[in-house]
């Protein structure tokens, strides 16, 4: 797992390097600039012109130093800087003065002081534009003229690179009003957690880490509770299968999903249980849609309830399902069951009786859970809401959630002693012990009906095999996104549908296994 840090933790590295190691700040800036220039030149070897917009702080100082490094490599560089040099930080001004002293003798390096928004067009036709305006110290909303500058830069079709953090982005929360839309963000020291969530996920593009010349061992003793999931983690958490495994020891799942109105959710959830490797997948559905389900997925065992006219769950159906609830290692409850009053009562009964061993709670079951949340024991459950469902469950607004998603998710998981899988772009998993895990796979092809039902089945299937809620959630979320990514080899994200996602789960498992079992 890749540890992610808060902005204050990473800024403390600068202080440590300057005050404890006695490395001058200007040296740290030079080290960073060399690494940034190397990254740009390796990623974009064909560029011949670069535009740089520099602020007055240390992020601007990085920009001036990078401009000089690129100029050293024969690239035409046009720098637009904000404010009077006397208002710059000491290290920023030092690098500005070096560039200023070079301009009379170097034709490929030009400096222009910003005086109006029209000047931004000086770099419109550059092969690449670098944002070195504010960096990681920003919070709040952009003020003028920076807001207008960023809006203008975002209109340009050229490649955009942000130094450390895109201007306008909060490096802790991933929030911001107006944000530089970068194709590549070269971040310094260590990874900031805000780069990977909310607007950070949208505006950072590819994220590359470069050091400032003092190594990374400083962070060996810095605590963090936020991590980015890697392929190695998915491989580590895959179920270990012995030669004597059978269909019951491989995991037994009862999926209570679907209704007359939403039969597809049942197939996707229960089917994904099997495709994730569980040995026994039993689907509980209304008797009225039993024939439809069997035609679509013959491998599923059906436990029907009600009579031929039954279209959804009722409290009376619990008795019919009770033995299977006790039998299952994991019960997956919610996808497509609907929100009828009787169905809500069934869900309440399910939690009140506590006959299940473990459970995955999703979709309509989360809606029903809201009324009884405060008095419900969720210790053996994994909850898989998307942002809207979580906000409904907790009476929060989406805006409030995004402002502090890490703390809110962490508090919820610890308060209810449950594993929370908060589905989104990206999906974040919160464990009972207060850790946050950001998923690193997936694409916008997952923004389709049924994708969440597939994930529910995957979580239930792996939970039945692993019996560890956090590990089951992490491997499921990673493989769910990876499956969508691998499908891009066959089609665009526009054409990915949930049934195809379900059927390609084994391909993503095989991809991970082959990646780490070559030797």
The per-residue pLDDT for 215 is: 80
State pLDDT tens for residues 24-45: 989 999 999 999 999 999 999 9
**How far is the CA of 494 from the CAs of 199, 446, 488, 491, 505, in angstroms?**
22, 9, 10, 8, 19
Domain parsing of the chain, residue ranges: 15-222, 242-516
* 69-86: average pLDDT: 96
Those residues whose C-beta lies under 8 Å from the C-beta of residue 34, and which sit 6 or more positions away, are 69
Residue 298: pLDDT over 80: no
Q: Which residue carries 């923004």 as its tokens?
A: 447
Distance from C-alpha of 74 to C-alpha of 129, rounded to nearest angstrom: 16
- What does CATH list as the number for 15-222? 3.40.50.10260
Those residues whose C-beta lies under 8 Å from the C-beta of residue 395, and which sit 6 or more positions away, are none
Share the mean pLDDT of the chain.
94
Which of helix, strand or coil describes residue 115?
coil
Distance from C-alpha of 420 to C-alpha of 410, rounded to nearest angstrom: 9
State pLDDT tens for residues 261-271: 899 999 999 99
The per-residue pLDDT for 343 is: 96
* 56-68: average pLDDT: 97
Distance from C-alpha of 226 to C-alpha of 440, rounded to nearest angstrom: 13
State pLDDT tens for residues 355-388: 999 999 999 999 999 999 999 999 999 999 999 9
DSSP state letters, 54-94: E-SSHHHHHHHHHHHHHHHTT-EEEEEE-S-GGGS-HHHHH
Strand pairing of 358-361 and 330-333?
Answer: parallel
Q: Show the tokens assigned to 466.
A: 């692993």
- What does CATH list as the number for 242-516? 3.40.1190.20
The per-residue pLDDT for 96 is: 97
The per-residue pLDDT for 496 is: 94
The per-residue pLDDT for 249 is: 82
State pLDDT tens for residues 379-403: 999 999 999 999 999 999 999 999 9
Computed from CA positions of residues 481, 486, 488, 494, in that sequence, does the dihedral angle turn out positive or negative? negative
Distance from C-alpha of 447 to C-alpha of 295, rounded to nearest angstrom: 27
Distance from C-alpha of 340 to C-alpha of 386, rounded to nearest angstrom: 21
The sheet that has 109-113: what strands, in order across it? 109-113, 76-81, 49-54, 128-132, 159-163, 184-188, 206-210
Cβ 404 vs Cβ 394: under 8 Å: no
Residue 519: pLDDT over 60: no
Q: Which residue has the higher pLDDT, 249 or 403?
A: 403
């Amino acid at each position: 797992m890749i540890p992610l840090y808060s902005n204050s933790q990473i800024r403390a590295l600068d202080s440590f390097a300057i005050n404890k190691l006695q490395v001058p700040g200007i040296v740290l800036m030079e080290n960073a600039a060399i690494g940034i220039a190397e990254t740009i030149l390796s990623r974009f070897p064909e560029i011949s012109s670069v535009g740089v917009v520099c602020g007055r702080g240390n992020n601007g100082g990085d920009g001036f130093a990078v401009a000089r490094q690129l100029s050293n490599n024969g690239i035409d560089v046009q720098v637009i800087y904000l404010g009077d040099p006397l208002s710059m930080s000491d290290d920023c001004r030092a690098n500005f003065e070096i560039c200023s002293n070079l301009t009379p003798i170097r034709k490929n390096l030009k400096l222009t002081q910003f005086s109006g928004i029209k000047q931004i067009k000086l770099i419109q036709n550059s092969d690449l534009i670098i944002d070195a305006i504010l960096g990681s110290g920003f919070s709040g909303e952009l003020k003028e003229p920076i807001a207008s500058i960023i809006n203008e830069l975002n209109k340009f079709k050229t490649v955009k690179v942000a130094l450390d953090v895109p201007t306008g982005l909060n490096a802790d929360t991933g929030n911001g009003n107006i944000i530089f839309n970068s194709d590549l963000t070269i971040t310094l020291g260590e990874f900031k957690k805000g780069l990977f969530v909310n607007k950070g996920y949208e505006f950072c593009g590819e994220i590359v880490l470069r050091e400032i010349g003092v190594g990374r061992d400083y962070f060996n003793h810095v605590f963090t509770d936020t991590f980015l999931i890697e392929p190695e983690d998915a491989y580590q958490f895959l179920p270990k299968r012995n030669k004597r495994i059978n269909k019951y020891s491989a995991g037994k799942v009862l999926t209570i999903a679907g209704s007359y109105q939403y039969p597809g959710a049942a197939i996707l959830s229960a089917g994904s249980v099997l495709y994730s490797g569980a040995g026994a997948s039993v689907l509980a559905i209304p008797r009225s849609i039993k024939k439809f389900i069997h035609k679509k997925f013959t491998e599923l065992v059906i436990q029907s309830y009600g009579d031929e006219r039954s279209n959804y769950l009722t409290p009376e159906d619990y008795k019919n399902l009770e033995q299977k609830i006790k039998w299952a290692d994991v019960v997956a409850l919610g996808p497509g069951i609907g929100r009828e009053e009787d169905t809500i009562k069934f869900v309440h009964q399910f939690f009140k009786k506590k006959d299940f061993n473990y459970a995955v709670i999703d979709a309509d079951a989360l809606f029903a859970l809201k009324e009884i949340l405060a008095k419900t024991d969720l210790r053996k459950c994994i909850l898989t809401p998307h942002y809207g469902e979580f906000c409904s469950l907790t009476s929060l607004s989406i805006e409030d959630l995004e402002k502090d998603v890490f703390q809110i998710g962490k508090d919820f998981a610890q308060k209810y002693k449950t594993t929370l899988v908060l589905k989104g772009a990206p999906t974040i998993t919160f464990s009972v012990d207060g850790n946050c895990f950001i998923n690193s796979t997936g694409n916008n092809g997952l923004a389709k009906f049924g994708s969440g039902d597939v994930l529910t089945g995957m979580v239930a299937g792996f939970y039945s095999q692993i019996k560890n809620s956090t590990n089951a959630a992490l491997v499921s979320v990673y493989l769910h996104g990876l499956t969508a990514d691998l499908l891009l080899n066959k089609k665009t994200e526009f054409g990915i549908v949930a049934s195809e996602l379900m059927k390609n789960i084994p391909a993503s498992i095989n991809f991970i296994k082959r990646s780490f079992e070559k030797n």
